[in-house]
Structure 1
Amino acid sequence: MKILYLNHYAGSPSLGMEYRPYYLAREWVRAGNEVAIVAATFSHVRTKQPQKAREEVDGIAYLWLPTPTYRGNGLGRVKNIWSFLHQVWQLAPTLATKYKPDVVIASSTYPMDIWVARHIAKMAKAKLIYEVHDLWPASPMELSGLPWWHPFILLCQKAENDAYRDSNYVVSMLPNVAEHMAQHGLDLRKLRIVPNGISPEEWADAPAPLADPLTHHLNLLKAAGKTIVGYAGSHGLPNALDVLLDAAAMLRNSSLSFILVGDGHEKARLAQRIRNEGLNNVSLFDPVPKSQIPALLAHFDIAYIGWQRTPLYRFGIAPNKLMDYMMAGCAILHSVEAGNDPVTEADCGLTVAPESPQAVAQGLLQLAAATPHQRQDMGQRGRTFVLARHTYPVLAQQFLEVMA
């Protein structure tokens, strides 16, 4: 089978997120299929940006289309989106004839890529699959407060409705979307759920060692008998790190120490807040390479993941870092209110209310009071859960069955 995968923000192990397109495509290639990924040269979620127009990574053909840089979610990002879609539309005849796809997948945060994917699929007489990461325009409406009559929202709504109507199948990472999609015209017989996951082989061998000064700092905390509460991931408003800092302030005289590893728009402000408030029990570190994530998480006694309180999460959540936490065998403090909760399902930690520093602090103390053996048991249950349901070889096969 020949698969053309359109994902504006696609990444790779060397470039950073988004990892999902790479891991799915790699498994499809291993199963004997041909896969080409079309993506933009600039994405705000990547650690690095590609330097070539074309390259092959683990048998996957990448085509990088030049797009302007941007910061935040303003006009610059809109220009970036428009540039990518315009180029894909212009290249549609070439993509259809060069790659001769049997399947075209439209896969991005925003839904307007369905139009260019549909254009290519018609030319190639290929199946059309729409892959949903986040529900747009529901996300910008509920998170940013944009009204339904805003031109951008109307554009997104038109694209979402067209995607549900014209796709052969819709694949969603979010589990509780059926009612919403049916209201916007989807025949639910076309809906399949394929969540996020992990690559087991990245956890099979001894992890790449962490570099100093992070290793030195973690070892000092262990030697001092501290219970390490860790967070690894993006430092943005949706990650509820202010709530974690509020909890850290309440627990400054406890045996808990907090480590935040990563980068993002909010990191500088969070660092300033830590200095201003004298939160000596909190340390910030730069992101580590993906190959070092297992070694980093092995140092965490408790792993934190938090969310804002928003009705949007009624459709479900599918965070990559939660899969990593579970695979690492971490006991997890999950601060969320959502349509699904893998931590509760797996019984691998504790779930508390979102945007509540008191609940987070109390939950952390409860997990810290558990014995190391009890926390290890929690972690093992999480790892078993992920291996059974969330490995990319399994998920890629589920996706292949949709395409076939």
Structure 2
Amino acid sequence: MNNKKYNIVILNHHAGSPDVGGGGRHFDIAKALSEMGHKVAVLASSYNNSKDEYYCDEEIMRHKFNDNLEFIRIRTTPPYKDNIGRFRNYYDYMKKASQFDDFGFVPEIVIASSVHPFSWPAGFEISKRHKAKFIVEVRDLWPLSMYEDFSGIMRKGVFTFFEGLERKYYKLADAIITTAPFAYEYMEEKFNIDKRKVFYIPHGIDLEEFDKNKVKDLNNLESGLEDVLKNNSCITYTGSFSKSEGLPTFVESAKYLKDLDLKFVIVGSGPEEDTMKDIIEAESLENVSIFGIQSKDKIPIILENSKILFCGLKERKAFYYGISKNKFYDYMASKKPIIFASSVRESLIDKSVSGKTIKPNDPLNLANTIREIYKDIDTVGKEYGQNGREYVEKNHTNMRITEQFLNVIDYVSKTSN
């Protein structure tokens, strides 16, 4: 790593930041880079899709966090609740971000992140205008990650379109950053991309912030959730109730554990909620409780007051190339044993010895695994928890992740155009 200071633009449609009640990967990285003396502008949308509202009425919303870091939000249209509206909003982001130039500096490095791949054309246009280095970040293997969401002719059309974007911008990129450890195989096999320009950089965590939040009093939570955690031993899931997470299997496993003094706590929101509630009703599961989505600062309190943590992933083509879930690092930071129901390659839970990885879609096997860990919660469970904490401290702090980003920036800055 050299001592050069860079002018960096990061494109991420959904980038969170504290001024709008959020945060996340690019805020954390941008903040760390800015504190090192690099100038950073993050170009995002002012539309909050989870709440179906805009953060502001203006066309451009700007917020400076320090002398070197500014978040710039552009008003993208239309508001959306379906895939057609979503893609129209993404396309509008691409058009407006492509033309944006008021960064307060001349960009030297442009990082375009595929929350959706329409950021890539926009990032490339900015880099081309300023003769800046162009880095593609792949956080989702589009269109592979959407394969199950489309069918027939539509699936073929979606794949053809997005594979065209992949082929073009992977080749144009000076470097590719991916959060999936084996994504280089997909890029090499399908598009003949030189794996030497593909860099795996997983997600990170602000341990100082996590530790500050985990010691807050339980009364910071809604009363029902507070009561369950305070008065029971709990196995807990936090996050999206999406079809990928294998939550119906988690709920079904509870019917085999009615004899245990153990509550299943599920915190979040998403399309699988009705499915889970149907299972709870059909099986008369009084040992399962579902709560709504909680703010990020409350997750450490919930994990701290749980005994075991659950995460699952259904079989999907995209998962063959590995994953990097933010949830893992929160879970490991909490020093609690983790059960991961997934067939993903080289599970991080196994690699860190922070719990057990089992096959998905098997409620009885999941129940037996829960029973086994719960029985030894004060010995084996404690050891799993300690292993996870040590692993995340060594490999997944925000500073460690930022250093890896800076290594890639140094690498592209030395390559010729």
Whether 1:326 aligns to 2:337 is no
Tell me the TM-score normalized by structure 1. Answer: 0.91
Preserved CA contact (<8 Å) 2:258 2:287: yes
**Which whole-Å CA distance do the structure 2 matches of 1:275 and 1:79 have between them?**
39
Describe the SS at the equivalent of 2:249.
helix
Cross-structure match for 2:62: 54
**SS of equivalent residue, structure 2 residue 17:** coil
Which TM-score applies when normalising by structure 2?
Answer: 0.88
CA distance in 2: counterparts of 1:243 and 1:383, whole angstroms: 27
1:354 to 2:360 alignment: yes
SS at 1:135 equivalent: coil
Note the C-alpha offset of 1:206. Answer: 5.7
Q: Per the alignment, do residues 146 and 117 of structure 1 end up closer, same or farther by CA in structure 2, a change over 3 Å counting? A: farther
Cα distance in 2 for partners of 1:147, 1:99 equals 45
Find the counterpart in structure 2 of residue 216 from structure 1.
Answer: 227
Give the counterpart of 1:172 among 167, 178, 182.
178
- 1:42 aligned partner, one-letter code: Y
2:350 equivalent in structure 1: 344
Give yes or no for contact 1:100–1:124 (8 Å, CA) kept in 2. yes
Alignment-mate amino acid for residue 79 of structure 2: T
Match of 1:199 among 186, 206, 230: 206
Matches within 5 A, 1:75-90: 75-90=84-99
Q: Is 1:112–2:108 an aligned residue pair?
A: no
Q: Give the match for residue 224 of structure 1.
A: none
Write the letter of the residue equivalent to 2:229: L
Deviation, 1:29, is: 0.8
Matches within 5 A, 1:373-388: 373-388=379-394
Aligned to 1:70: 80
Change (3 A) 1:17 1:363: farther
List per-residue Cα deviations over 1:287-314 (Å, max 9, x = no partner): 2222222211011111000011123211
State how far apart, in whole Å, the 1-side matches of 2:354 and 2:28 are: 25
CA distance, structure 2, for counterparts of residue 215 and residue 110 of structure 1: 37
Q: CA deviation at 1:380?
A: 0.5
SS state at 2:13 partner: coil
Match of 2:110, SS state, is strand
For residues 281 and 155 of structure 2, what CA distance do their matches in structure 1 show? Answer: 43
- Whether contact under 8 Å (1:329, 1:380) holds in the other structure is yes
- The amino acid across from 1:320 in the alignment is N
Distance across 2 between alignment mates of 1:194 and 1:62? 22
Cα distance in 2, alignment partners of residues 228 and 381 from structure 1? 20
Report what 2:318 is aligned to. Answer: 312
- SS at the partner of 1:10? coil
Query: Does structure 2 retain, via aligned residues, the 8 Å contact 1:309–1:355?
Result: no
**Residue in 2 aligned with 1:34?**
39
Q: In the TM superposition, what are the counterparts of 1:286-305 in structure 2 within 5 Å? A: 286-305=292-311
| Offset at residue 199 of structure 1 (A) | 0.9
The answer to whether the 8 A contact 1:302-1:330 is kept is yes
Change (3 A) 1:83 1:386: same
> Aligned pair 1:285/2:294, yes or no?
no
- The separation in 2 between residues aligned to 1:147 and 1:195, in whole angstroms, is 34
Does structure 1 conserve the Cα–Cα contact (< 8 Å) formed by 2:309 and 2:339?
yes
What's the CA shift for 1:13? Answer: 4.2
Contact 2:48–2:55 under 8 Å retained in 1 = no
User: How far off its partner does 1:151 sit?
Assistant: 2.8
Q: 1:142-171, CA deviations, whole angstroms, 9 ceiling, x for partnerless residues?
A: 554466973332221111111211111101
Q: CA distance change for structure 1 residues 155 and 98 in 2, over 3 Å: closer, same or farther?
A: farther
Deviates more, 1:294-303 or 1:146-155: 146-155
8 A contact 1:106–1:131 mirrored in 2: yes
Indicate how the Cα distance of structure 1 residues 88 and 146 shifts in structure 2: closer, same or farther if over 3 A, else same.
farther
1:12 maps to 17
- Give 1:263 shift: 1.8
Pairwise CA distance, 1:45: 5.3
Q: Deviations over 1:235-268 (max 9, x none)?
A: 1111111111111123233322100111223334
CA contact 2:30–2:40 (8 Å) conserved in 1: yes
Mapped contact 2:307–2:377 kept (Cα < 8 A): no
Distance 1:149 1:353 in 2: 28
Q: Which amino acid aligns with 1:279?
A: L
Q: C-alpha separation between the residues in 1 aligned to 2:43 and 2:282?
A: 45
State the partner residue of 2:280: 274
Contact 1:3 1:101 in 2 (8 A): yes
- Structure 2 counterpart SS, 1:150: helix
Determine whether 1:190 maps to 2:197: yes
SS, match of residue 218 in structure 1:
helix
Bigger shift: 10-19 or 178-187? 10-19
State yes or no: 1:140 paired with 2:146.
yes
Deviation at 1:269, TM superposition (A): 4.5
Find the residue that maps to 1:205 and give its secondary structure.
helix
Q: Is residue 16–residue 46 contact of structure 1 (8 Å, CA) maintained in 2?
A: no
Q: Report the more deviating stretch, 181-190 or 148-157.
A: 148-157
Give the SS at the match of 1:198.
coil
Aligned with 1:262: secondary structure? strand
What is the aligned residue count? 395
CA RMSD of aligned residues (A): 2.2
Q: For the Cα contact (< 8 Å) 1:16–1:45, is it kept in 2?
A: no
Gaps of 5+ in 2: 1-5, 411-417
Is the 2:114–2:120 contact (alpha carbons within 8 Å) kept by the matching residues of 1?
no
Instruction: Give the direction of change, closer, same or farther, for the CA distance of 1:170–1:245 in structure 2 (3 Å limit).
Output: same
Would you say 1:130 and 2:136 are equivalent positions? yes
Q: Distance in 2 between matches of 1:191 and 1:104?
A: 16
* Cα distance in structure 1, aligned partners of 2:70 and 2:104: 12
